[in-house]
Amino acid sequence: MSALSNVHASTLLNTSLRSGTYYLALFLTDPTASGTGTEVSGGGYARKIINFSAPSLVSGKEQVSNSAPVDFGTLTADLGTVAYWGIYDALTAGNLLWYGSFTRSKNVLNGDAITVSAGAIVCTLA
């Protein structure tokens, strides 16, 4: 069995989430490791830039979280129930780098404003 040291986990988090421009995507279905989930589309939705805090040690694991709210604005259509998120390296298409689920899903209706709170997106390496 192998494991990462805290120093190396911190280095990897800095390299993979703090060294470029990354985009938060919203999903209706689990993106999975292969990136095959159903991303929200239409109604004025577009991926938004996300920035991350410096890595910190929490319960023995290095983690980063979004350092500011991510505002998707007011959407103009019923888009379905958003339950998952993904981090991409491009505004459109690109590569799925990280993914997870929200603690609560939200049924997005026409006129809803969507903001992901600071600290809501957490990426962890042990």
User: How confident is the model over 42-89, as pLDDT tens digits?
Assistant: 999 999 999 999 999 999 999 999 999 999 999 999 999 999 999 999
Distance, in Å, from the CA atom of 118 to the CA atom of 72, rounded to the nearest integer, reads: 13
> What global pTM score does this model have?
0.95
Q: Burial code of 109-125, b = ≥16 C-beta within 10 A, e = fewer?
A: eeebebebeeebbebbb
